[in-house]
Structure 1
Amino acid sequence: MTVTAFRPRREPNEVARVTATAAELLEVLWGRASTAPASASQLRVLLILEHHERINLRTLAASLASTPPSTSRLCDRLQAAGLIEREGSQADRRAVHLRLSSRGRAFLADLRARREKTLQEVLDQMSAADRHALLHGLEAFCGVVTAQIHDDAEETGSQTA
């Protein structure tokens, strides 16, 4: 191996900085693919509901690090737009469960398709080796983040139970 081929490992703080920059660039890139009729906060609600069907308002508020009244207002707007549905609990009349409507699912599918198209245009300009390295790193990243979110949700659920 030649000295010019040697590349020192990046420090975790440098990787975090580059990852944060990539996330910010994605937001700019995806800004071209409108999220209307949902705001960024409402989009977060839709994404949470997609993965936690029939979540209650209190648990959703905790997931958003928000208050139940603020979360309820977000959900009011999403329900008015036809993107989510509320259903009462038969066990507890005060409890309300939230879920995506079919329109909400279609909205997320369309948004993802537009975002993927935009990303594909960028990826097409990268070498196969760079795409493979990116895929490998992102799969590892997503695995850790998914586990962390799952653990946080379980912890929040046990605190509200």
Structure 2
Amino acid sequence: MIGLDGLAPGTIPAEVMHAADHLTRVWDQARQDATPSVSDPQLHCLWAIERNAGLTLNELADLLAVRPSSATRFCDRLQATGLLERESHAVDRRKTVLSLTHHGRQLLHQIAHRRRRDLAMLVARMSTTGRTALLHGLSDLQAALQVTPVSDMPEGPYRGSVE
């Protein structure tokens, strides 16, 4: 295990960023290898719809922090590939409700399964001490993230860069 004595102040954030970069590549490979292959924004769109039953196009745009026209284009492409369906809202026919098709749910399951498998393989290569430390560190990081939204982080040298 790495000792913390004498580390430069930016060492831990740099190591976390380095590990996150590698993990992002593992995550991205699972998305790219899925059939059909979807873009990262399209995948975010599918996850949002899967997690929020009865989502409308405008609600999706708000969740993804994109313009409604962008959300519409994402949905057009996903519908064309058979991954999502649009239906009229049960009460307000002016609204369109989004839902995943069976194929869309299968795609998300395929990607999640691949990511879990790849992560399990990487974690299995770690020592028991390393796995324990990882769990403790991730728990602490998650707690810090819950009380410090990204929007509340100060501008300056510590936001977006490591010195």
Common fold by TM > 0.5? yes
Q: Distance in 1 between the 2:51 and 2:6 partners?
A: 35
Confirm whether residue 97 of structure 1 aligns to residue 94 of structure 2: no
The Cα of 1:64 is off from its aligned counterpart by 1.3
Cα distance in 2 for residues equivalent to 1:12 and 1:31? 30
**Secondary structure of the corresponding residue to residue 119 of structure 1:** helix
Helix, strand or coil at the partner of 1:126:
coil
Deviation at 1:51, TM superposition (A): 1.3
Q: Could you tell me which residue of structure 2 aligns to residue 156 of structure 1?
A: none
Give the corresponding residue for 1:135. 135
For 2:66, the aligned partner's letter is S
Higher mean displacement: 41-50 or 83-92: 83-92
Say whether the 8 Å CA contact 1:42–1:78 is kept in structure 2.
Answer: yes
From the two aligned structures, give the one with the greater helix fraction: 1
Distance in 1 between the 2:110 and 2:3 partners? Answer: 44
Which amino acid counterpart does residue 135 of structure 1 have in structure 2?
Answer: L
TM (norm. structure 1) is 0.74
What is the deviation of 1:11? 9.2
Judged with a 3 Å threshold, the aligned counterparts in structure 2 of structure 1 residues 9 and 93 are, in CA distance, closer, same or farther, namely: farther
Q: Which residue matches 1:78? A: 78
* Alpha-carbon distance in 2 for matches of 1:47, 1:147: 24
Is 1:29–2:26 an aligned residue pair? yes
The aligned counterpart of 2:155 is none
Number of equivalences: 145
Q: 1:145 to 1:112 in 2, by over 3 A?
A: farther
SS of the aligned residue for 2:38 comes to coil
Q: CA deviation at 1:65?
A: 1.5
User: How has the CA–CA distance of structure 1 residues 106 and 25 changed in structure 2, closer, same or farther, with 3 Å as cutoff?
Assistant: same
Give the CA deviation at 1:15: 4.6
> Relative to structure 2, which stretch is displaced further, 16-25 or 5-14?
5-14
**Post-superposition offset of 1:53:** 1.3
Runs of 5+ consecutive residues of structure 1 not aligned to the other structure: 150-161
Paired residue for 1:45? 45
In 1, Cα distance between the equivalents of 2:99 and 2:15? Answer: 35
Amino acid at match of 1:58: N
| RMSD (Å) for aligned C-alpha atoms | 2.8
Identity of counterpart residues, as a percentage?
A: 34
**TM-score normalised to structure 2 length:** 0.73
